[in-house]
Structure 1
Amino acid sequence: MATDHIVKSFDDELKHLNQIITQMGGLAEAQLQTAIEALMRRDTDLAGQAVQNDARIDELERQVDSLSVRMLALRQPMAQDLREVVAALKISSDLERIGDYAANVAKRAIALAQTRPMRPAHVIPRMGRMVQAIIKDVLDAYIDHDAEKAVAAWERDEEVDEMYTSLFRELLTYMMEDPRNISPCTHLLFIAKNIERIGDHATNIAELVYFLVHGREIEAVRPKGDTTSFALVTPPNGDGTDQAKSKE
């Protein structure tokens, strides 16, 4: 009976750990959505809410840390059980970083509300929706232990990178056309980069789900579509066409 009690207790702790991760994921996803809505509405109050909501995600991460350490110390899990605890610990760290980046988006939205609207901002919601969908899919994959769904979400991050690269070039061109665009475009660049980094952390979670299920890492090289590190942007032509290019 004692053994049964220990096993059931461990199962209950794992379920609680999974519930906290699921709650963190939902909060992080909602925080990103709120931040992007605040940006598009130029609503500083809504942006402030997104910043404040980050504290709850931080608190949940601390709960995961505490529970995971306790389980590792007292239960000494092995094999699949050990992967469950370690994956939860690492996933909570990625979700906490996602919350931080979403809060950064909201802070930039507050600053942008004080500047004139910029046309390239219309790309941000599309990037945000794409990243939100990836977050949702990797969390569903975690709950269901579905490695195939995790890999499918992992592969979609390349689209986010490509969208970021395109926006990066466009914003640099806007800044060269008119110095008055430099401040708002810089904020938009940081927002886009934060969203791109959220996508990276979502792919981290996908890799952890794959490891959780199979006990090994994804063998393929992580797809990357971000070429901004090699971007070369020249001033626009006399007719206003964009000469932004990238060294592939």
Structure 2
Amino acid sequence: MPQDTPGHIVKSYEGELKRLREMIARMGGLAERQVADSAEALVRRDTDLAAEVVQRDVQLDAMEREVEQFCVRLLALRQPMAQDLRLIVACMKISQDLERIGDYARNGAKRAIVVSQQALTGSLNGFERMAELVQENLQGAIDALVGDDAAKADAVWRNDEPIDGIYNGIFRELLTFMMEDPRNITAATHLLFIAKNMERIGDHATNIAERVHYAVLGEMPGEERPKGDNSHSAVAGAR
């Protein structure tokens, strides 16, 4: 059997790196859909859609395992160097971020089912806007990976603060509802956890952006990540 020529090996390797980016892009697309549908299920009080989000989470889990196995194979067989090595390691870590995003979306969907059975507590406009910003950041981070675009990654990295601001506004509003009427406590508590999960999803999107910046340039962003004031948070362990 004839051996591969060096040119064929290079072409094959490039194809594998392209496939890796495509795997992350597909996983990112599903994660975005999970976030969008989880928020929509909450706002529309759609328990069927919420149940779909919960069921689909296993797909993200499977995709993370697939990416990890593919990365390990590339590391073992190709022994990549420099930027290729950073890309492969970054993709492995990004798949973990996306899997966690899926977990937060699933948890939000579960809580949306409970909230749908309670009296509506205030406006959900903040949740809609927060979900939109999170999706924009997540999509931007994945696009930055696919395009080796450090500038786009940096834009995502700097855009987390508005999400924190909305979260803090939601926190204060729900706390007021709970203080005004104890009957609001159950629904408001679930909404607090949903908001915190959404804020955590935003954090994972900026994590992805940081990993892309490092994969492309070989260094972490040189400044402190912009963050809103989270001193009001009493649900830091939300999952």
Match of 1:21 among 24, 27, 39: 24
Q: C-alpha separation between the residues in 2 aligned to 1:138 and 1:123?
A: 23
**Which 5+ residue runs of structure 1 have no aligned equivalent?**
232-248
Paired residues of 1:64 and 1:92 also in contact (CA < 8 A): yes
Q: Which moved more, 1:118-127 or 1:14-23?
A: 118-127
Match of 2:206 among 203, 208, 211: 203
Deviations for 1:29-72, whole angstroms, at most 9, x for unmatched residues? 01111111111111111100011111111111111000000111
Q: C-alpha separation between the residues in 1 aligned to 2:230 and 2:74?
A: 42
* TM-aligned CA deviation for residue 196 of structure 1: 0.1
Relative contact order, higher structure (CA 8 A, sep 6+): 2
Amino acid paired to 1:211: Y
Match of 2:230 among 207, 227, 237: 227
Pairing of 1:230-245 with structure 2 (within 5 A):
none
Match of 2:163 among 144, 160, 167: 160
Amino acid paired to 1:100: D
**Which 5+ residue runs of structure 2 have no aligned equivalent?**
235-239
TM-score (normalised: structure 1): 0.90
Q: C-alpha separation between the residues in 2 aligned to 1:226 and 1:191?
A: 18
Paired residues, number: 231
Q: Which moved more, 1:107-116 or 1:5-14?
A: 5-14
TM-score (normalised: structure 2): 0.93
1:147 is matched with which residue? 150
Matched residue SS, 2:158: helix
* TM-aligned CA deviation for residue 229 of structure 1: 4.9
Pairing of 1:103-114 with structure 2 (within 5 A):
103-114=106-117
Pairing of 1:1-248 with structure 2 (within 5 A):
1-229=4-232
* Coordinate RMSD, CA, aligned: 1.3
Amino acid paired to 2:53: A
Matched residue SS, 2:92: helix
Amino acid paired to 2:87: E
Paired residues of 2:168 and 2:233 also in contact (CA < 8 A): no
Amino acid paired to 2:11: K
* TM-aligned CA deviation for residue 224 of structure 1: 1.0
1:234 is matched with which residue? none
Paired residues of 1:121 and 1:188 also in contact (CA < 8 A): no
* TM-aligned CA deviation for residue 120 of structure 1: 3.6
Q: C-alpha separation between the residues in 2 aligned to 1:166 and 1:183?
A: 19
Matched residue SS, 1:189: helix
